[in-house]
Every structure is written in C-alpha cells, then in structure tokens.
C-alpha cells in the first residue's frame, strides 16, 4: 500500500514554484496550483491533500486508486486526471463547482452519476471502463440533465453501449466519441443526433450501425452542425447535396432494390428537364451517383451523363 505523505506532495509539484529551504511544508502547499501524483502506484489519498487549497490541476492517473479522493477543500480545481485506476464509482466531487475537465478513462465505473453539482464541467472522458461481461455503462438522468448546458466534450467509447439515446439531452455537446460500442439502431441514432444541435465532431466507428447501408449519409443529414465524422471532414457541398436529395428521395436508408430506385428517382428529377438545364445540373447527378452508389459498395459504376 502506497499512501500520500506531506513529503511526497512537496516533491510532486511544478518546477515553476520551488519550496524555499526555510519555508514550512504547509505554507508551501497552500500556494501550489498543479500537483503531479501520476504513476506512483498510489492506493489511497489521505487528508494531507487538503493542505493544497489552491490546486487547479490534479494529476492522479496511472495509479491503483479504488476511490476518487476527497478533495472538496480544493474548491479551485478545474482539471482532474484519474484515468487508468481501479475506481468503481463517481463520488466526492460535490464541492468542485469550478471543475471543467474530468478524465476517468479505463477504470471500473458502471454508472455516470454524482455530477449534479458540476455546473461548469465542459469535458468528461469515461471511455473503456473495465466492466463485467454482459454489462455496459449506464447513465443517471439527473447527472445528464445537470450537464446539459455546460458539457461540450464527451467520450463514452468502448463501453458496450447498445444505445446513446439518453445522451440526447446534452444539447451543448460539440464533440462526442461513442466508437467501439454495440449501437445498431440507425433510426434511434438519427433521432438522438437531431437533438444535438451544436455537435461538430462525431466518432461512431466500430459499431454495428455503421454497417447499415447509407449510415454515414443518414448521420450527416441528422446532425445538422456536424463538420467531422470519424475523422473525415464533412464538406459543405456534400451536406448541401444530401439535403437536396433528401427532399426528392426521402430517407436514404437503403433496402434491397433501393439502388435501382435511386437511379429511377434521379432520372425522374433530371430526365424531364430541357437539355440546357440538364447540362447545368448534371454535376449534381454525377455527385449523387458517386456518393450513394460508390461510397459504401466500393463498386465501379458507369456514370450516365446528362450532357446530351
């Protein structure tokens, strides 16, 4: 068992503010703002940390902690890094009303809870929890509701989630990583994304839902503010085209025979135009065929040109 001591605290501070030889440890610890206790095989954080009343950033990752330490006296904390420990529950954070970033990746947490008072929290990383087989990460409604106005970035990847429907309340999110889960319902996913009006970047790869025909196209249409999907930029031209096509062809969720229907619908939209207009809009026709017929199936298609 490795515990924190006053001596360890004094040795784990930034080089910017060094302790003077004649300075008492307690007086020195009152002044520090950054504490580096990462990778020290710590199993417990005692009351000594309460001496660090002006802490703003606390590094505790890569240890053996089973509980989030009680750091309520450090009310100035804005960042806590607790990833890669053995923490089983989110607790002891009630007084940290200035907390902006909370990193809890690779622990043993089964429920996102205990965040009701963190009104300033902007980023939460809780990916890849080490849970028993057949269990997945759960969400407490009260905690999610309290974060709806503040949370900007959320990582819940690798948690065997079958749905992220509960996250629809997080309307301020600009970044969501939900990759490597078990999400499979494209309709439910689309409905959830429609509620996230500020979402700019989404990582959703490694889910069964991405095997659904035209999944990417549906996601782009549903997430109206999306700029990056699985690391790839969503261009304005692509979005504009998909939105226009949706107006003519309805849903892009494909079923057997849909590709033939797509061709018919395109010809219906464009084929009756005068030659002069067909030439003007032929680039849309070609872009649609490339996007809808080639992007997912990877097959070579002989494009029909409407320039005649």
Task: Supply the CATH number for residue 16's domain.
Answer: 3.80.10.10
Tell whether 289 and 203 lie within a shared domain: no
Tell whether 243 and 277 lie within a shared domain: no
Contact 85, 68 (CB under 8 A): no
Tell whether 112 and 142 lie within a shared domain: yes
The pLDDT value recorded for residue 301 is 37
Tell whether 110 and 166 lie within a shared domain: yes
How far apart CA 119 and CA 147 sit, in angstroms, is 6
Would residue 290 count as lying in a domain? yes
Would residue 28 count as lying in a domain? yes
User: Quick one: how many helices (H) and strands (E) in the chain?
Assistant: 8, 12
**pLDDT < 50 regions, the chain:** 251-259, 261-264, 283, 290, 293-308
Total domain count, the chain: 2
Would residue 286 count as lying in a domain? yes
Tell whether 243 and 256 lie within a shared domain: no
Tell whether 171 and 208 lie within a shared domain: yes
Tell whether 14 and 54 lie within a shared domain: yes
Tell whether 243 and 272 lie within a shared domain: no
The pLDDT value recorded for residue 275 is 60
Q: Which of 231, 249, 267 is the last residue of a domain?
A: 249
State pLDDT tens for residues 25-43: 888 899 999 999 999 999 9
How far from 9 is each of 42, 54, 68, 281, 302, CA to CA, in Å?
12, 13, 17, 68, 69
First to last CA, the chain: 81
The pLDDT value recorded for residue 21 is 79
Tell whether 122 and 146 lie within a shared domain: yes
How far from 100 is each of 58, 126, 153, 300, 306, CA to CA, in Å?
12, 14, 10, 49, 55
Would residue 1 count as lying in a domain? no
The pLDDT value recorded for residue 188 is 97
Rounded to 5 degrees, what are φ and ψ at 265?
-65, -40
Closest-CA residue to 126 (of 153, 155, 150, 100):
155
Tell whether 238 and 112 lie within a shared domain: yes
Question: Which residue segment(s) compose the domain that 123 sits in?
Answer: 6-249
Would residue 213 count as lying in a domain? yes
Tell whether 164 and 304 lie within a shared domain: no
Tell whether 234 and 206 lie within a shared domain: yes
List of residues 6+ apart from 214 with CB closer than 8 A? 252, 253, 254, 292, 296
How far apart CA 221 and CA 226 sit, in angstroms, is 9
How far apart CA 197 and CA 226 sit, in angstroms, is 9
The pLDDT value recorded for residue 19 is 78
């Amino acid at each position: 068992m490795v515990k924190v001591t006053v001596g360890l605290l004094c040795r784990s501070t930034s080089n910017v503010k060094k302790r003077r030889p004649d300075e008492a440890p307690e007086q020195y610890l009152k002044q520090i703002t950054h504490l580096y206790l990462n990778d020290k095989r710590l199993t417990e954080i005692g009351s000594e940390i309460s001496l660090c009343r002006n802490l703003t950033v606390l590094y505790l990752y890569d240890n053996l902690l089973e509980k989030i330490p009680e750091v309520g006296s450090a009310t100035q904390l804005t960042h806590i890094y607790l990833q890669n420990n053995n923490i089983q529950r989110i607790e002891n954070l009630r007084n940290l009303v200035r907390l902006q970033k909370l990193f809890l990746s690779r622990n043993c947490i089964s429920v996102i809870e205990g965040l009701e008072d963190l009104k300033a929290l902007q980023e939460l990383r809780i990916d890849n929890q080490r849970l028993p087989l057949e269990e997945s990460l759960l969400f407490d409604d009260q905690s999610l509701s309290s974060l709806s106005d503040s949370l900007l970035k959320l990582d819940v990847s690798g948690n065997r989630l079958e749905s992220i429907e509960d996250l629809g309340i997080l309307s301020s999110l600009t970044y969501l990583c939900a990759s490597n889960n078990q999400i499979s319902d494209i309709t439910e996913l689309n409905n959830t994304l429609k509620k996230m009006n500020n979402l700019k970047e989404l990582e959703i790869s490694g889910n069964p839902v991405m095997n659904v025909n035209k999944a990417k196209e549906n996601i782009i249409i549903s997430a109206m503010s999306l700029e990056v999907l699985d690391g790839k930029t969503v261009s304005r031209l692509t979005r504009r085209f998909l939105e226009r096509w949706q107006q003519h062809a309805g849903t892009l969720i494909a079923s057997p025979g849909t590709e033939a229907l797509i061709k018919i619908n395109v010809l219906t939209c464009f084929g009756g135009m005068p030659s002069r207009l067909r030439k003007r809009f032929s680039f849309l026709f070609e872009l649609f065929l490339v996007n809808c017929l080639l992007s997912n199936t990877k097959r070579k298609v002989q494009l029909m040109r409407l320039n005649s």
